[in-house]
Amino acid sequence: MTRPAARGGSRASADRLARLLNLVPYLLARPGIEIAEAAGDLGVTERQLREDLELLWVCGLPGYGPGDLIDMAFDGDRVTITYDAGIDRPLRLTPDEALALVVALRMLAETPGVANREAVERALAKIEDAGDLVGAPVAVRLPGDTRRVEALRAAVEGGKALRITYYTAARDETTDRVIDPLRMLMVGGRAYVEAWCRRAEAVRLFRADRIDAITELAEPATVPPQAVPHDLTEGVFRPSPDLPLITLRIGRSERWITEYYPCERVEAGDGDQWLVSLRVTDLGWARRFVLGLGPEATVVAPVELAEQVRATAAAALDAYAVPTPTAEPRQSEADPEIAPSGDPAVVGRTQ
């Protein structure tokens, strides 16, 4: 069993959905339009437009019977919408739908890295006004330390350099750095600041919840020309062939690894066991990762990682070992404390 690595197609699906939603009102306003002309207006090929029309034919209202689906008529290379399934009517939101949009937009407005916050605020104001939701008792808070995120966002917007104390989980160390912020990001529900790190002399991502201290410096952020933001469309961690590859044998209780981490290979082993191979930033992180797993996880490769895990586990067990108590010397007639006084053989002994 090999796990597919590609997860593309989501953007193409979203683009097609937007195109289909625009297609019906476009055709309603132009009955009998030629497919070639419509394709040119919509910026697609004739083949793509015909495929979209075939998909529209099976879209419509719940029930999905003959009277519920979008219908159209073809006359040679011309097309006319004969039933639009209500897409021509203006959208009407229920109170619950409007409130859900308000919550989503407020969350978006609080999300670091949003490019055009003013547009979000305007859309929010319109929906609140139209749905009579102005002043609705809805409070949105992002996970993590809001004050820390706000301080980072203020530094980014103000163009100031920062001195931070940062915990690097991969190396299990805390360092002091001076950074020149580039932008704020929200990836996987976590806030990050992307910045030029003067210590590493490279662009780095810093998780907000791992920044222990922040000091805004008086000097402006100075970002060198070679500082290029990361492409995070595939996530923060991007496995590459130059990173260490580890292989684990895992049981059923540890299969969550294959859903949480990008794996290069997942193969069925004996019984319920799987062989899982994945890239890691370094073996130090991998050692701590494996030690945190349950008893159904075993290191297969590399040998160096297996030895590190074994040595660390042995040291931990030694630390918890209970020392064997020292036996107390048994008192006897030879003990000077109870021996008859004046016995020269006894008085001369030492304990």
- Distance, in Å, from the CA atom of 198 to the CA atom of 170, rounded to the nearest integer, reads 19
On whether the CB atoms of residues 297 and 184 are closer than 8 A, the answer is no
- Distance, in Å, from the CA atom of 304 to the CA atom of 294, rounded to the nearest integer, reads 20
Q: Tens of pLDDT along 134-143?
A: 555 666 665 5
- Distance, in Å, from the CA atom of 261 to the CA atom of 259, rounded to the nearest integer, reads 6
Q: Answer with the residue of higher pLDDT: 138 or 296.
A: 296
Average pLDDT over residues 155-180: 87
pLDDT of residue 133: 59
Q: Answer with the residue of higher pLDDT: 250 or 62.
A: 250
3-state SS class at 260: helix
Q: Tens of pLDDT along 17-40?
A: 777 878 888 888 899 999 999 999
pLDDT of residue 178: 94
In the chain, which ranges are continuous DSSP H helix? 10-28, 35-42, 46-56, 95-110, 117-130, 146-158, 257-260, 283-291, 303-320, 344-347
Q: Answer with the residue of higher pLDDT: 254 or 133.
A: 254
- Distance, in Å, from the CA atom of 225 to the CA atom of 348, rounded to the nearest integer, reads 88
On whether the CB atoms of residues 279 and 286 are closer than 8 A, the answer is no
pLDDT of residue 190: 77
pLDDT of residue 145: 56
Predicted TM-score (pTM) of the model is 0.45
Check pLDDT > 60 for residue 270: yes
pLDDT of residue 259: 83
How far, rounded to the nearest angstrom, does the alpha carbon of residue 126 sit from its chain's CA centroid?
A: 31
